Chain A
Amino acid sequence: MADSNGGGRRPIYPAGTIAKVSSDILNETFHNIIHDLVAKVHREEKVARMRSAVVVARQKAEEEAILPEETASKTSVDTKREIVLDHKKLSGMHMETDAAVYDRGKVFLKGNPLQTVKEVICPDCRLPRLLYPTAGASCRAPPDADAEYCSNRPLISKQGHDVHGKLYAIMPNPKKKKGDRDSTIPEMPTTKCPLCPRYFLMTRLAQHLDRCMNLSGRGAGTRNKTPTDSGASNGNSPTSSSAKRAHADADDDDGSPSPTKKKKKLNGPKKGSSNKPGPSKLKQSFTAEDNDDDVKSENAD
């Protein structure tokens, strides 16, 4: 195959020369590298199609074998799917699809699945798989907008978004009421301090815990340890700078909470709020916010 492709332009070296040997080695090494890559993709693709063929055949057979509701009590119940199957019928059944033969519980392939199977089906949820990401780099719209697809979708590669296609979590904006918020922008969750009953923004927990456990070096002994010593009122907690930094990378967590260390902002809405510092106001609304989340997460648990 490779020989026929480049035959015309490849220089011919006389047999027995070093040039011939080296060019042969080089050519064949490239051949092998390409061979391995193609073989790997071939395997992935063919196995996926084979499985799809099997899943489709199995599903079809099972659909045939669904018992009418009245007789359901007599046979075993598949608890997961809440569908009652006639296992006796299923085990004796023979049926064919385009790509496979279901025969007494086993599935045999028919022909080459690369030709007979058009769609990759997830063996777990039996829904078709999306082959391309739905957003970002090399995305494609799903072939059928209304169809349901397996939730194991290709990873999304898009600036400012994670692999699930979500925007990075931002610091909750205390100015906005729950209803007004843009639900497409995830907000940083809060978490309960392992020690005291208060809730904190995820990214602030370590700082609080340090205080809560009375670890802080400077004046560790003198600092009030009770939970009422509000972490929020202390020094550099959620001031305007933190709101600005909210989205922009927790990555420089070198701890320096200096307000100058802001990075690129993602979107407008929080800009307005961060321009009005008023730490006391902010603090109040933050506590309210915390309480809100408090209730919410308790319910969630």
Chain B
Amino acid sequence: MASLDSATLLSEAAFGCEHLAAFLNKDEKIASQFKSAFRSKDRSLAPYSKTDTVAVQTSGLRTVESLKPKSHCLSCPEVCLDTERQAHTAETGHTFYIESRTRFLHCQKCGDFIYDHGLERLRGPAGKSHIADGRSIWAEDSASELYVKNNAYKNPCAKRGARGVWNMGQTCYQAVIVQALLHEPSLNAFFLAGGHDVHTCQEKNCLACGTAEVFMEFNSGERNEAVSAATLLYNGWELSKEMAGYRQQDAHEYFQFLVNGLHSSTPGHTEVYNKKCKCFFHQVFYGELRSSVKCHKCGQTTNTDDPMADLSLDVQQQSKKRKIGRSTSSTTGTLLGCLDSFTASEDLHADAAYHCEKCGNTPQRASKRLQIRKLPVILCMQLKRYEHTFSSSEKMDGHIDFPLTLNMLPYTVRKDNLPVDMSQYIYDLSTVIVHEGTMDTGHYFAYTRIGDDKWVLMDDNKVTVAGVADVLRQDAYLLFYSLRSLRGEGKTK
């Protein structure tokens, strides 16, 4: 799947600066050495991957290490601070450095950071293969990039993605979910590439057809007014009695309903429990949750894996903990805290009777733990903001801190001590859905990221600018995170 980014090759300069051009064109051997040096330094500086921190000498209390960004010379193992760079270049003639925080290339002759398309592709998202056979892949790839560029349908320039979705009367639950999906690059690629053929689809009231229609309208031409999801609404109403009718719905339920519908309308999907589904929507939306039960007597662990389309996190537990004062010093709950308690192991009551097979099917005390076995590309998290008492249910307001970037590794089955590819676990916040009002009635609106770091507030058909700070201040109900690198996805497709 060619990304839109790679289609910009033709607008890229051949080299980041004239000095780099001269250097790399001079000698093939030196150039390839340089490239591999760049690659290995770049990888060692990549965030989150486990590298050995520089050993700190412990002879007395002295300033031995600086936290400031360091420049790594690409021609020798020298590592120096910004201020020492000039001296190193004067001494050795080495011109190019990689900077440790941003991993940008610095050319001492320009006296500036330079951005070289060719080198940056070496660290590209499809990184796995480049160790084995790096050069050949990249050498050929520019030709295919050119091909994509020349044959791709170019969108007219417009504020992409900044279009509302009409509220057709109490359908804001639908509008926010549709917004969340409309801004997922992987779903856009799927629907715009004809992943679901509306014209040949035989299914009655097909949700994928309805969704495809919205995607196409959303991306069509230079228009910037709100789009209509009427067909999707109608199809949904026809399919489900629970969802139908002129009344308010829970956005989370609608999300699950829609994801299920999309999944089941895809040819080649399977819903057989034991068989792994390979269809697109399954890859995108469904992860796997492992629940493991450990018998306290014999220590045996039994694992059960179930597909999951989202995580429902208990907010209540957080606030309770806070009341007792057991929580870590922070005054507000955090998403990470919710995830921690979600994946924490809990004791099963003795009378709940877990029958351990190994202990002869006798009831034993045991502990249970939920962990994520497989992460989806689009990770939806619901903050359960209701408190159920015997007589009534109540909505809990209050802020839960959530990050822009989320590392999911600690909540997965894999152990921390194994070296893992961190890029598979880094998620970026894409949409925040907020519910305003009470348990029975209220309004949904969504904050969505468009482009790299612009945020807009999607209040039905109204699209307004929002700052990151506004977004993070919201009392979120649903959070959508998407996987930063789609590497695994690209391989399976």
What class of interface size applies to chain A in its complex with B?
Answer: 35 or more
Task: Provide the bound-state CA to CA distance between A40 and B103, in Å.
Answer: 11
Interface residue? A65 (CB, 8 A):
no
Which residues of the partner chain B approach A251 to less than 8 Å between Cβ atoms?
172, 443, 445, 459-460, 462
Give the residue of B63, B159, B222 whose beta carbon is less than 8 angstroms from that of A20: B63
Interface residue? A139 (CB, 8 A):
no
> Would you call B465 and A163 a contact (CB within 8 A)?
yes
Instruction: List residues of chain B with CB under 8 Å of any chain A CB.
Output: 8, 10-18, 21, 60-63, 66-69, 82, 99, 101-102, 104, 110, 112-115, 154-160, 162, 164, 166-172, 222, 224-226, 228, 230-231, 233-234, 237-238, 244-248, 437, 441-443, 445, 454, 456, 459-465
Q: List 5 A-B contacts (CB under 8 A).
A: A108-B18, A156-B465, A163-B464, A194-B231, A202-B166
Give the residue of A50, A169, A254 whose beta carbon is less than 8 angstroms from that of B13: A50
Interface residue? A109 (CB, 8 A):
yes
Which residues of the partner chain A approach B14 to less than 8 Å between Cβ atoms?
106-108
Task: Provide the bound-state CA to CA distance between A194 and B228, in Å.
Answer: 12
Which residues of the partner chain A approach B10 to less than 8 Å between Cβ atoms?
58, 123
> Would you call A206 and B224 a contact (CB within 8 A)?
no
> Would you call A206 and B222 a contact (CB within 8 A)?
no
Interface residue? A185 (CB, 8 A):
no
Which residues of the partner chain B approach A250 to less than 8 Å between Cβ atoms?
167, 172, 460-461
> Would you call B225 and A216 a contact (CB within 8 A)?
no
Task: Provide the bound-state CA to CA distance between A215 and B231, in Å.
Answer: 17
Tell me the residues in window 216-257 of chain A with beta carbons closer than 8 Å to chain B beta carbons. Answer: 216-217, 249-256
Task: Provide the bound-state CA to CA distance between A32 and B81, in Å.
Answer: 13
Which residues of the partner chain A approach B11 to less than 8 Å between Cβ atoms?
51, 54-55, 58, 123
> Would you call B245 and A210 a contact (CB within 8 A)?
yes
B231 to A, closest residue via Cβ: A194
Which residues of the partner chain B approach A216 to less than 8 Å between Cβ atoms?
245-246
Distance in angstroms from B178 CB to nearest chain A CB is: 14
- A46-B113, A106-B14, A164-B162 known; A203 vs B157 contact (CB < 8 Å): no
Interface-lining segment among A110-118, A274-282, A287-295: A110-118
> Would you call A207 and B66 a contact (CB within 8 A)?
no
Distance in angstroms from A35 CB to nearest chain B CB is: 6
Task: Provide the bound-state CA to CA distance between A50 and B164, in Å.
Answer: 33
Task: Provide the bound-state CA to CA distance between A252 and B462, in Å.
Answer: 13
Interface Cβ pair total, 8 Å cutoff = 223
- A107-B13, A155-B159 known; A207 vs B246 contact (CB < 8 Å): yes
Q: Is the interface of B mostly helix, strand, loop or mixed?
A: loop
Task: Provide the bound-state CA to CA distance between A47 and B117, in Å.
Answer: 10
> Would you call B464 and A157 a contact (CB within 8 A)?
yes
Give the residue of B63, B230, B442, B456 whose beta carbon is less than 8 angstroms from that of A205: B230
Give the residue of A17, A25, A36, A163 whose beta carbon is less than 8 angstroms from that of B67: A25
- A58-B10, A163-B159 known; A209 vs B237 contact (CB < 8 Å): yes
> Would you call A206 and B246 a contact (CB within 8 A)?
yes
Give the residue of B63, B237, B441, B459 whose beta carbon is less than 8 angstroms from that of A15: B63
Tell me the residues in window 72-126 of chain A with beta carbons closer than 8 Å to chain B beta carbons. Answer: 80, 100, 106-112, 114, 122-125
> Would you call A16 and B462 a contact (CB within 8 A)?
no
Interface residue? A64 (CB, 8 A):
no
> Would you call B113 and A169 a contact (CB within 8 A)?
no
Task: Provide the bound-state CA to CA distance between A156 and B309, in Å.
Answer: 36
Which residues of the partner chain A approach B114 to less than 8 Å between Cβ atoms?
46
Task: Provide the bound-state CA to CA distance between A116 and B169, in Å.
Answer: 54
